[in-house]
Amino acid sequence: MAYETGMRLSKCIKRRALVLLVSCSVCGAQSLRQAADHAGVLIGTAVRPSQLSEANYASTVAREYNMIEAEDVMKWWVLRPDEASFDFRQGDELVRFAQSHGMKVRGHCLVWGRYNPDWLTQGHFTTEQLSRLLHEHITNVMKHYSGQVFAWDVVNEALDENGNVRDSIWYNQPGIGMSSKETAYIEQVFRWAHEADAHALLFYNEAEGEGMNRKSDAVYAMVKDFRQRHVPIDGVGLQMHVPVEMDIERMAAQLQANLTRLASLGIQVHITELDVSAPLNAKGNSRSEDLMRQAEVYRSVVRACLDSLGCTAIQTWGFTDKYSWIGSHSHGARGNALPFDRAYMPKASYRAILQELSADRPSRQLHASP
């Protein structure tokens, strides 16, 4: 039975691959950006400013996307080299690129328990000092980018796989003085962010919480509580770093259910870090059937977003396999996770995204701006 099911799925994927290849007349000569503008959704990618000097990199970003986000250069360890100073040069370069090409900028991220600079994590600061530093950081960064960054991942990955608040320098090591109140420190951070820039959209961003599980239940419960008590939170970011081997139908159904319940809270949802990794052989290549299956994962995620009026943005974590984080993270075991290959050629995944964005649907009003 498992073999027969696998064969049916393989034939289905091959048929869909043929459709992808022969029906791009539906897509015409449009880019993802053009199709997304027409569909009423933001299509974005994480960007490394250091690569913008590469002509193919910069031209692909400008042509294909209407939103960009910094992979690293708006994080603490880049923006704040020491306690006394801020370095906005790389972040400003990204903003200038976006402005020159009529793109929106997402900010990522103000508060995270990981990848903070040594001077902060090893500084033996007291709770009172950490609270002051964090408030100061949020205020300075958000005011610097006020009117330039339309949405921020205010807090990133604060919950563990069981939905409990994760140990961190901001929560309880030693924290900013609210470790006995669980999500209270997250609430405080959102209040500080809103004070710094009342016009920016404020998001909680989380990994492995796109389906229906204990973590996503905890995110939903936290946001529901915040909304009921008028804590200034505008949205949830679902990262979606997923493997090609996943059960596509189950993933799509759970994602749709989660999008529906989050939207019922009156917030927006952004897909923030989407990539779909595939196994690599010794030469760094993936099987063609895995790449076709990858296209179906991308298609399902885009479809789920477009079918939910609360989902207003779809963003991949990078766009070309040339610069994906997956290879180094998996020690070369996985990769080829993005819509463009290493030569900036569109893959089946790109065509699946474009087709889905171009499909006829009831009109959506693009309301991702504050």
Residues annotated as catalytic are 157, 273
Token pair 């939207």 is found at: 263
Strands (E), 85-157: 104-112, 151-156
Question: CA dihedral defined by 253, 255, 261, 267, rounded to 10 degrees?
Answer: -150
Residues with Cβ within 8 Å of 113's Cβ and at least 6 positions away in sequence, in order, are 157, 158, 166, 167, 168, 169, 170, 171
Distance CA(246)–CA(224), nearest Å, equals 29
CA distance 367 to 273: 20
Residue partners of 118: CB distance under 8 A and separation at least 6:
none
User: What's the rounded Cα separation, in Å, for the pair 44 and 61?
Assistant: 9
Contact assessment for residue 340 and residue 319, using Cβ atoms and an 8 Å cutoff: yes
Neighbours of 340 (CB within 10 A): 22
Helix (H) or strand (E) holding 94: helix 89-100
